[in-house]
Amino acid sequence: MTQASFAHHASRPLSIGSVQIPNAVLLAPMSGITDLPFRQLAMQFGAGLVVSEMVASKAFAVGKEEMRLRAEGQDMELHAVQLAGNRADWMAEAAQLCEGAGAGLIDINMGCPAKRVINGYSGSALMKDLDHAVRLIDAVVEAVDVPVTVKMRLGWDEGSKNAAELARRAEQAGAALITVHGRTRCQFYKGSADWRAIAPVKDALTIPLIANGDLMNVTDAPAMLEQSGADGVMVGRGAYGRPWLPGHVAHFLATGEVLDAPSGQELLDLVLDHYGRMIDYYPDPVGVRCARKHLGWYMDLLEERHQSFDPELRRSILTEGDPTEVKALIRAYFERIEEGVAA
């Protein structure tokens, strides 16, 4: 089978309003994960679009440094920022500031299930009040010239799956793309994402729809697309320790070929590069702390792959505060694991 005959539509360029992305495989916005270094790596591996961590609109508008870092888009060809909030004025002001700082796309968070977010009547809590949710979309669309997208869940709970209605009204308000995670808020991340339950949202729209939830391997993508009817897919937790996954999904949808994940020296170089970017990006000692979860996921991958484990060396990597020493420990860890030496 030739590449041309295999290629899935999601592997082709996708228009989001006035913006075109190279493929419809997206990296999800994930708090504490999709900072600038991680997004840069995912783009290098071929993701169609990467979206910032969730940025609290009021905190960003009043100049909080943490939110400024989250909204950073240095060296990104297309910089997309996700905003969260429950007040139209703060959402509009934050969107304008992001656009002024170079954002080419604004995403509105109406899907986060975290208690600290919904307790502020933001995130997926907005799905309980569609009129207010639409007022926020109206405000952001009117405030900026760049495309505005909306990310949501199926609904608040099993008895109120209103994603199709919110998506339809979001399109009427000017949204250029909708993403739906195949769970309700009350499911949090329990059970399995219901890709088929996303299909009614597609029927309600003329703008592109992206399906999200439980895409853990490249071969999951065709079933996710078929069951949801979506135009593309979004990779979330499956990218933990695997910034290459969205790009590999796009390659699989284009060619039918499953690329090998980085290993050996290539993976070591990637881990050291990722770590160095984080140390350079964050103020000391924030970068050391923020990098630890990523290092843990990379080590999980190696340990699963080689069925080998060195608890003392792993513990040292995740507790050491000197970046130079951490890099030396990472090299030693790779050497031990690759040799299959278990403590």
For the stretch 63-73, pLDDT in tens is: 999 999 999 99
Q: Is the pLDDT of residue 6 over 80?
A: no
Phi, psi of 308 (to 5 degrees): -140, 150
pLDDT tier at 241, thresholds 50, 70, 90 = very high
Q: Which residue carries 């090299």 as its tokens?
A: 331
Provide the pLDDT for residue 210: 98
Confidence band (pLDDT; 50, 70, 90) for 116?
confident
Phi first, then psi: what are they for 118, rounded to 5°?
-70, -25
Active site positions, annotated: 112
The pLDDT assigned to 3 comes to: 45
| Burial (CB count within 10 angstroms: exposed 0-12, middle 13-18, buried 19+), residue 4 | exposed
**Residue 236 in tokens:** 């979330």
Stated length of the chain: 343
Mean pLDDT for all residues in the chain = 94
Residue 47 is given by DSSP the state: -
- 284-306: average pLDDT: 95
pLDDT tens string 168-227:
999 999 999 999 999 999 888 898 999 999 999 999 999 999 999 999 999 999 999 999
**CATH code given to domain 3-255:** 3.20.20.70
CA atoms within 13 A on the CB side of 305: 16
Q: Give the start-to-end residue ranges of the domains of the chain.
A: 3-255, 264-338
Q: Mind listing the pLDDT tens digit for each residue in 74-104?
A: 889 999 999 999 999 999 999 999 999 999 9
- Cα–Cα distance for residue pair 262/233, rounded to 1 Å: 22
| pTM: predicted TM-score of the whole model, two decimal places | 0.94
Query: How does residue 4 score in pLDDT terms, banded at 50, 70 and 90?
Result: very low
